[in-house]
Every structure is written in structure tokens, then in C-alpha cells.
């Protein structure tokens, strides 16, 4: 089993990320979906495992590609912050583009609101913000993805 932590929108505030990493124990991969604000080296050091990152709208002059295509288990996955897809308005543009490009899962941030939406054509994942939540309960959130030996995945929303 592979354990992957998915986070977004740390905005230079790392206490909750440190707490989440401590609680989860050993993880195989950390995915950061943007707005790390130049602190990517610190986040990599904290994680102590493979880290995949894409820049957010506050990651000025970031050397990272604005999107990352990867495979996790049996899935083709798109990592993006989401602001180029206007995710604060709705998810139609992101959903349509990801489906057209053949992705099984798209992971995004930007809205600071968590989402796990498993649809027929695509799974949409947003871990919310681990530092500055905007949903009604104001919980700082992240998502744990567990990939089984057959390549299937389960997602669990967690709060710090």
C-alpha cells in the first residue's frame, strides 16, 4: 500500500503541515498543489519523501511547471493549482479540460475548500487549505490517498 498526503495553500505557515506529517507517520509521497510561497525547500525537508509540487497564484517566479501530469496506481493524474481554470467560480472548465485530456483524477487547490468528488468520468480532489480554510467549519484540512496493490485508490479528508 502506498500512502500519499495531498496538501495545498500553506502560505508560509507550516505548523499544521508539521502536525499532519507527525500524525500520519511514514508517507510515501507528498503532493503540494500550490501557494507554498518560495518555501518549497523547507516543505521538501519536512516531508522526508518524494514531493510533487505545482505553483499557485502566489508562487511568483516559481521554477515549477504550472501543471504536472503523473501516474499514481492505475490512474492518470493532473496536478494543478486551479486558478488558470477559474475554480473559484465553478469546476466546469477544469472538469471538461481534464476529461478531454484523458485524466482519471485531477487534484487542485486555490479555493481553500476541500472536495472529494468521484464522478463517472473523473475524480476531482481538493485538499482545502492546511493553513487558511474558507469552508463553513473553518477546519484546516488535507487528504490522504491510499493506493492498494492493485492500483486502486481511496481518499480520506482529514483535519488538523
What is d(CA 139, CA 149) in angstroms, rounded to the nearest whole number? 32
Domain spans of the chain, in order of start: 2-159
pLDDT for 47 equals: 98
How does strand 114-118 pair with strand 105-107? unpaired
What is d(CA 152, CA 160) in angstroms, rounded to the nearest whole number? 26
> Model's pTM, two decimal places?
0.98
pLDDT for 101 equals: 98
Closest CA relative to residue 20, chosen from 1, 4, 33: 4
Q: Which pLDDT tens digit goes with each residue over 50-85?
A: 999 999 999 999 999 999 999 999 999 999 999 999
Query: Which of the following CATH numbers is that of domain 2-159: 3.40.50.300, 3.40.50.1700, 3.30.1780.10, 3.60.21.10?
Result: 3.60.21.10
Sign of CA pseudo-dihedral 117, 118, 123, 127: positive
pLDDT for 55 equals: 98
Per-residue pLDDT band for 19 (boundaries 50, 70, 90) equals: very high
What would the mean pLDDT of 126-148 be, rounded to a whole number? 97
Amino acid at each position: 500500500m502506498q500512502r500519499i498526503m495531498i496538501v495545498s495553500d500553506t502560505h508560509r505557515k507550516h505548523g499544521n503541515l508539521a502536525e499532519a506529517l507527525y500524525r500520519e507517520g511514514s508517507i510515501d509521497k507528498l503532493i503540494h498543489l500550490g501557494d507554498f510561497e518560495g518555501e518549497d525547500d523547507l516543505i521538501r525537508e519536512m516531508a522526508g519523501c518524494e514531493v510533487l509540487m505545482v505553483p499557485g497564484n502566489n508562487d511568483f517566479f516559481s521554477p515549477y511547471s504550472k501543471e504536472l501530469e503523473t501516474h499514481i496506481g492505475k490512474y492518470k493524474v493532473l496536478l494543478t493549482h486551479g486558478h488558470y481554470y477559474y475554480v473559484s467560480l465553478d469546476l466546469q472548465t477544469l472538469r471538461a479540460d481534464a476529461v478531454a485530456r484523458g485524466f482519471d483524477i485531477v487534484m487542485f487547490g486555490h479555493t481553500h475548500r476541500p472536495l472529494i468528488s468521484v464522478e463517472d468520468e473523473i475524480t476531482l480532489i481538493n485538499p482545502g487549505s492546511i493553513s487558511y480554510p474558507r469552508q463553513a467549519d473553518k477546519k484546516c484540512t488535507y487528504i490522504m490517498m491510499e493506493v492498494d496493490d492493485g492500483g486502486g485508490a481511496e481518499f480520506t479528508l482529514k483535519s488538523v
